[in-house]
């Protein structure tokens, strides 16, 4: 198997493993919702239990069908881009794997329950409650922006090959 296919398999396995971590934490949060809030890092982060029917910051509440369609399309596009080796640098590909894992986690919640389970809250600032999938999506999004800004066009102009 060529190197790029091995890396693709590793990225998809990593996305699956990150999805599993997200599922485990959500199941734990639901099982312990009566004990919340629990301080993880006192004064900084606590666990609480919340059911979010919207997107980030509860925007577009009750948009389940819309989010399922958009998320399914995004997941298909990410898998296609990874298989086609569209990202010309590993940072772009791994960023997409992070985004894929988070999208899968929130997609399954919406599909099975009609809402996304959120459980982390910053104690020092008024901010949205979020989950592990949101962390993966945010980190992946930041890394993907860095890739697009600093690496994608540079590699394209130099004519570098794919992964």
CA distance 39 to 121: 9
Sequence-distant (6+) residues with CB within 8 A of 48 are 36, 37, 119, 120, 121, 129
Instruction: Name the active-site residue from 35, 62, 118, 123.
Output: 118
Instruction: Measure the CA–CA gap between 146 and 148, rounded to whole angstroms.
Output: 6
Task: Annotate 14-63 with DSSP letters as a single string.
Answer: HHHHHHHHHHHHHHHHHHTGGG--EEEETTTEEEEEEEESSSGGGTTTT-
Residue 35 appears among annotated catalytic residues = no
Q: Tell me the sheet residues that pair with 120.
A: 47, 130
Is 118 among the residues known to form the active site?
yes
Catalytic residues, by residue number, are 118, 134
């Amino acid at each position: 198997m060529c190197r790029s296919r091995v890396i693709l398999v590793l990225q998809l396995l990593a996305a699956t493993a990150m999805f599993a971590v997200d599922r485990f934490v959500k199941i734990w949060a639901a099982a312990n919702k009566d004990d919340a809030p629990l301080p993880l890092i006192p004064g900084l982060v606590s666990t609480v239990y919340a059911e979010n029917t919207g997107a980030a910051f509860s925007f577009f509440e009750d948009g389940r069908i819309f989010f399922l369609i958009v998320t399914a399309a995004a997941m298909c596009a990410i898998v296609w881009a990874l298989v086609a080796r569209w990202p010309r640098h590993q940072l772009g590909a791994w960023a997409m794997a992070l985004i894929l894992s988070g999208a899968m986690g929130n997609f399954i919640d919406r599909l099975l329950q009609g809402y996304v389970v959120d459980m982390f809250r910053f104690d020092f600032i008024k901010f949205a409650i979020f989950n592990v999938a949101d962390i993966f999506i945010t980190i992946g999004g930041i890394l993907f922006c860095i890739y697009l800004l600093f690496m994608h066009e540079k590699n394209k102009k130099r004519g570098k090959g794919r992964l």
